[in-house]
Amino acid sequence: MAMKVALLGCGVVGAEVVRLVDRQSAELAARVGAPLEIGGIAVRRLGRDRGTGVDPALFTTDATSLVTRPDIDVVVEVIGGIEPARSLILDAIKAGKSVVTANKALLAEDGATLLAAARAAGVDIYYEASVAGAIPLLRPLRDSLAGDRVNRVLGIVNGTTNFILDRMDTQGAGFAESLEEAQALGYAEADPTADVEGFDAAAKAAILARLAFHTQNVTAADVHREGITEVTAGDIASAKAMGCVVKLLAICQRAADGGSVGVRVHPVMLPREHPLASVTEAYNAVFVEAESAGRLMFYGPGAGGAPTASAVLGDLVAVARNRLAGTSVGEGGHDTGLPVHPMGQTVTRYHISLDVADRPGVLARVAEVFAENGVSIKNVRQEGFGDDAQLVLVSHRAPDAALAQTVERLRRLDMVRAVASVMRVEAFADA
Ligand SMILES: NC(=O)c1ccc[n+]([C@@H]2O[C@H](COP(=O)([O-])OP(=O)(O)OC[C@H]3O[C@@H](n4cnc5c(N)ncnc54)[C@H](O)[C@@H]3O)[C@@H](O)[C@H]2O)c1
Ligand SMILES: N[C@@H](CCO)C(=O)O
Ligand code: NA
């Protein structure tokens, strides 16, 4: 008996899923143990040629009926967005179907509800494509690392912003022209705000934190988020001078006392010897630090129709096998309930460049401001002379609130003409 698949959405990813299911039907049947058959495709409008070559009778605009149809085994959701995707997935689960989705926005906002519904119904919901596209990452976190304790996840999870920062670093290109190039190459979202303001990465960070720390209550709204729109050529030059590169990272980290987690997305200066620093163009990479495994790196294409469809197909094979075996994973059943602590409590390190007058007492006063806020200076150097002097300081680790307060106080000093660049610095956990 064939495993019948209902596909919701036939855009960039959906059309590629249809093509792959058709082209690889013999191998997929052998791997699953039963043929995979597309039983219906829900679209917004009928009559468009989507280049899939499938029987036009499979298309329908009635997604609600399709997901509950008795002959359907698995629903693949590649519409995107919150509604109607959420209602359709919940209807499918309640009707006993397993689900595969690429929908990071929905998983980040309401993943706990979807997982609980799937557990209650004894079906699977798999979502590998939602974070870092083709890269096998979520199932390794969920399954392969189930016997380990993950302490930190650092990731480049948005291709568009990595592409822009890479162009600014290697070609001296400006922000606007780099974004235009990313859009022309098809990496950016239709509204690139989701990319450049870090919303896309924040959704992915919430999903990663939930899996890494087995804590169900993290949503995109809990993620501290800063995008790359304020990264300047001066920041890139400052990073270069320190042997660093600027990257937009999603960072999920267990607090030192283990009682809470920090989840954040913001630009960082990263030493060029860190493996994430060499991730160029629109590639994604995620660096995982686990107690027994040590340092792991997952690298590859994070977007695009075919790479994303590869992850969807992998999930489809897995849930189809589980159905044939009469089993399901029951993900999310163990919830540590670890809370997310505020950004101010997250321990970070800052790079700060100040435009100052080169006069006696300036460095002493600047150092005093650091001391008053309990922040220790790791190194300091001066560039330029006279009225064009610049002090470049890197702090030791301190609570983010103390570092932010230090910057505010420095801004108010008469002798500081301007705070030219402020950026957090990341490195290996023990560096
Ligand atoms: N494209 C990528 O590189 C990529 C990478 C990772 C994850 N994703 C995720 O995959 C999903 C799909 O992305 P995409 O790039 O294919 O988007 P897309 O816009 O190309 O395709 C979505 C399709 O869904 C259709 N649709 C909208 N509402 C519908 C409804 N009510 N019923 C039926 N169809 C409806 C749209 O008409 C469109 O054809 C999203 O969740 C996205 O975040 C995409
Ligand atoms: N716009 C996203 C697509 C993949 O989620 C990116 O640039 O990575
Ligand atoms: Na993935």
Instruction: Give, for all 431 residues of the chain, the pLDDT tens digit.
Output: 899 999 999 999 999 999 999 999 999 999 999 999 999 999 999 988 788 888 999 999 999 999 999 999 999 999 999 999 999 999 999 999 999 999 999 999 999 999 999 999 999 999 999 999 999 999 999 999 999 999 999 999 999 999 999 999 999 998 999 999 988 887 887 789 999 999 999 999 999 999 999 999 899 999 999 999 999 999 999 999 999 999 999 999 999 999 999 999 999 999 999 999 999 999 999 999 999 999 999 999 998 899 999 999 999 999 999 999 999 999 999 999 999 999 999 999 999 999 998 889 999 999 999 999 999 999 999 998 888 899 999 999 999 999 999 999 999 999 999 999 999 999 876 66
CA 250/CA 255 separation, integer angstroms: 16
For the annotated binding site, the residues are 8-15, 104, 189
Q: How many domains does the chain have?
A: 3
Say whether both 27 and 58 belong to one domain.
Answer: yes
Q: Does the model's ipTM exceed the 0.85 cut?
A: yes
Q: What are phi and psi of 48, to 5 degrees?
A: -85, 140
Instruction: Answer whether 281 contacts ligand 2 (Cβ < 6 A).
Output: no
| Structural domain contains residue 113 | yes
Say whether both 186 and 84 belong to one domain.
Answer: no
Is 4 assigned a catalytic role? no
> How buried is residue 404: exposed, middle or buried, by Cβ count under 10 Å (0-12/13-18/19+)?
middle
3-state class (DSSP) for residue 27: helix
Give me the residues near ligand 3 (ion), CB cutoff below 5 Å.
128, 132, 135, 137, 311
| Structural domain contains residue 431 | no
Atom of ligand 1 nearest to the CA of 80: 41
AA letter at 368: E
Q: Which ligand is nearest to the CA of 61?
A: 1
Q: What are phi and psi of 397, to 5 degrees?
A: -65, 140
Is residue 365 left, alpha or beta, with left meaning phi > 0 and alpha meaning psi from -120 to 50?
Answer: alpha
Residue 334, both tokens: 């163990």
Say whether both 145 and 72 belong to one domain.
Answer: no
Helical H runs in 334-381? 362-372
Say whether both 405 and 362 belong to one domain.
Answer: yes
**What is the pTM for the complete model shown?**
0.97
Say whether both 310 and 352 belong to one domain.
Answer: no
CA neighbours closer than 13 Å in the CB half-sphere of residue 35: 9
Atom of ligand 2 nearest to the CA of 189: 1
Say whether both 59 and 81 belong to one domain.
Answer: yes
Say whether both 94 and 207 belong to one domain.
Answer: no
Q: What is the extent of the structural domain holding 246? A: 140-300
CA 260/CA 115 separation, integer angstroms: 22
Say whether both 269 and 375 belong to one domain.
Answer: no
∠ Cα 167 105 184 (to 5°) = 30
Say whether both 398 and 411 belong to one domain.
Answer: yes
